[in-house]
Amino acid sequence: MDYNTEAINLMAQQLAEMFKSAVMSQQESAVGNPTIAQIEADMREALRQIGNQALGLFLSSMQTTPEKEIACSCGGTLHYQRMRTARVISVFGRTRYVRAYYAGCDCKEGKAPIDEQFGLEPGAVTAGLATLLALAGIEFSYDKSPKWLQTYLLFDISENTVRSETEQMGLLQEKREESLIQQSQDEQYLQERQRNPGGIAPRLYGSIDAAKVRIEPRSKKGEEKEAHEDWRDMKMLCWFETETVPPSQRTKRQQKKVIREQPALRAKNMQYFCDITKAETFGKLLWATGCTVNADLCSDLVFLGDGAVWIWNLVTQYYPNAKQIIDWYHAEEHLEIVATAAFPDLIQRTTWLEEATQTLWDGQVEDVIAVCQALALTCVQASQAVIYFTNNMERMRYNRFRAAGYMIGSGTIESGCKQVVSQRLKLPGAQWLVSGAVHTAKARAVWLSEQWHVLCAQRSALPLVT
């Protein structure tokens, strides 16, 4: 849309004049000089009111002379009734406009063509405001959002409105995922993709993890509210690529890593997905989203995760050729647990741990198993570690992984879990039913994946709710 700069200049001059005379009369009445903060606050409020009126006038002006009759979506005929006032909640507040209203069809439906043209639903939030409310909703708990929004928007929005607009964005993402899943099970699509795959990353990573979310006990009508709360796994998936961190940008931790012969890598192009669902269903999401990044066609696909069996089962099922790497820090932690349990003496403990860690770092998993085995008779943690290292032996050849330049830490997915679950779903004041938790998390995952604009476009294209 092009604006007329001259017209804007003229309006700005008028506003400036208005403020100047207000300040002058304030000075004359000896109230004193307003601060710049006061001027800014007043000018924002004036601009909001101007915007609100302008939007209403604009919408009303788009109404041409009403036709006597128009077609109804049922195939019947609607008759012009009268000009009718409607209100929507826009980025400027409660905006009022007037448009022609039609009714009188046999199907009993009525409609206003202007509402349809602009995707407006009387009484509801406009698409422009909806995406701002949802942005607050993925960042703050719903009970805190209204206060924060009031400061920015200069008008009141209810907690429920923020909640429903945020969940609406998550619902849109859920629909996107459902259609990806459907597409990824279509033979024709898969064949076409193989002929014409588009970009394939030279090396692609997938990482899967889960974090606990507390779900409020749902009380059905007539039933006693169950006293116990319910913890559910929010499963999370991230696709990403890596790049080498330039020496000047390396953190202390990364500098240390380089000294330990590990390349300083960082994740880029992260795409996060999440759901509270069975592993089997999550597998479909893994496959469907993998298709969008050509994971199955990538010749160097790497999966990073902790030792959870369901994760490696899914990876093996959908990407049998992918390299599987156990997150280094999880593996190392198992040695720490053994050391703490087996050696009360600090020097013995430190010596054992340093040697075992170095052996693991060198990928000599058989030797790690042997030193744990030696402690297994008297230490239950050591015999558990034997099982863990034996089951994951080939996923811990850290010498080879390092030589090939692979990332060996699953920090990318853990950061995703933290940002979605700890930093939003676990905020004080947050209470969840499964659907609310899932939709809020999905919306937040889209924001973290820098795909928010895609949802915004879909939100503004939403058909009217009738």
86: β partners: 97
Which residue stretch of 3-11, 75-83, 277-285, 296-304 sits at the interface with Zn ion (rule: CB under 5 A)? 75-83
Alpha-carbon gap, residue 252 to 264, rounded angstroms: 11
Cβ 461 to Zn ion, closest distance in Å? 24
- Interaxial angle between packed helices 365-376 and 346-361, expressed in degrees from 0 to 180 and rounded to the nearest 10: 150
Q: Which of 158, 154, 162, 161 lies closest to 134 in space, CA to CA?
A: 162
Q: Least distance from C-beta 74 to Zn ion, angstroms?
A: 3
The whole-angstrom separation of Cα 232 and Cα 235 is 9
For residue 207, report the phi and psi dihedrals to the nearest 5 degrees.
Answer: -145, 140
Q: Based on CB atoms, which residue is closest to Zn ion, 72 or 138?
A: 72
Nearest to 290 by CA among 219, 224, 197: 197
For residue 314, count CB atoms less than 10 angstroms from its CB and return exposed for 0-12, middle for 13-18, buried for 19 or more: buried
Q: Which is nearer to Zn ion, 68 or 252 (CB)?
A: 68
Which of residues 55, 59, 72, 201 is near Zn ion by CB under 5 A?
Answer: 72
Task: Among 31, 67, 76, 378, indicate the residue that binds Zn ion (CB under 5 A).
Answer: 76
Q: Which stretch binds Zn ion (CB under 5 A): 20-28, 66-74, 186-194, 207-215?
A: 66-74
Site residues for Zn ion, window 154-183 (CB under 5 A)? none
Q: How far is the CB of 271 from Zn ion (least distance, A)?
A: 43
Stretch near Zn ion under the rule CB under 5 A, chosen from 73-81, 129-137, 176-184, 260-268: 73-81
For Zn ion, which is the closer residue by CB, 97 or 101? 101
Nearer to Zn ion, 79 or 87 (CB): 79
Q: Which is nearer to Zn ion, 108 or 221 (CB)?
A: 108
**How far apart are CB 116 and Zn ion at their closest, in Å?**
14
CA pair distance 59, 47, nearest whole angstrom: 18
Q: In the bound complex, what is the minimum distance in angstroms from residue 464's beta carbon to Zn ion?
A: 15
CA distance 102 to 116: 12
Q: Give residues with Cβ within 8 angstroms of 266, minimum separation 6.
A: 242, 243, 245
Residue 198 φ then ψ, to 5° = 75, -155
Name the packing angle between helices 346-361 and 328-342 (round to 10°). 150
Segment contacting Zn ion (CB under 5 A): 65-73, 132-140, 270-278, 311-319? 65-73
Q: Is 74 in the site for Zn ion (CB under 5 A)?
A: yes
Query: In the bound complex, what is the minimum distance in angstroms from residue 72's beta carbon to Zn ion?
Result: 3
Which is nearer to Zn ion, 108 or 253 (by Cβ)?
108
Scan for tokens 């192009």, then name that residue: 269
Binding flags for Zn ion, 100-119, as an x/- string (CB under 5 A): -----x-x-x----------
Q: Shortest approach of Zn ion to residue 109 CB, angstroms?
A: 5
In the complex with Zn ion, the residue whose CB is nearer, 78 or 315, is 78
Distance CA 90, CA 62 (A): 17
Q: Is 41 in the site for Zn ion (CB under 5 A)?
A: no
CA–CA separation, 111 vs 427, rounded Å? 42
- Least Cβ distance, residue 83 to Zn ion (angstroms): 21
* Number of chain residues interacting with Zn ion (CB under 5 A): 6
Reported as type and span, the H/E element at residue 71 is: strand 69-71
User: Which one, 72 or 379, has the nearer CB to Zn ion?
Assistant: 72
Cα–Cα separations (whole angstroms), residue 181 to 13, 116, 120, 290, 378: 55, 31, 31, 10, 50
In the complex, least distance from residue 145 CB atom to Zn ion, rounded to whole angstroms: 39
Smallest gap, in angstroms, from Cβ of residue 67 to Zn ion?
15
Query: Which of these ranges, 72-80, 229-237, 244-252, 436-444, lies near Zn ion under the rule CB under 5 A?
Result: 72-80
Please work out, in degrees rounded to the nearest 5, the angle formed at the alpha carbon of residue 292 by the alpha carbons of 291 and 295.
50
Cβ-based nearer residue to Zn ion, 76 or 405: 76
Q: Are strands 301-305 and 323-326 parallel, antiparallel or unpaired?
A: parallel
CA distances from 110 to 59, 71, 146 (A): 19, 11, 33
Nearer to Zn ion, 108 or 252 (CB): 108
Residue corresponding to tokens 């109230």: 31
Q: Which residues bind Zn ion (CB under 5 A)?
A: 72, 74, 76, 105, 107, 109
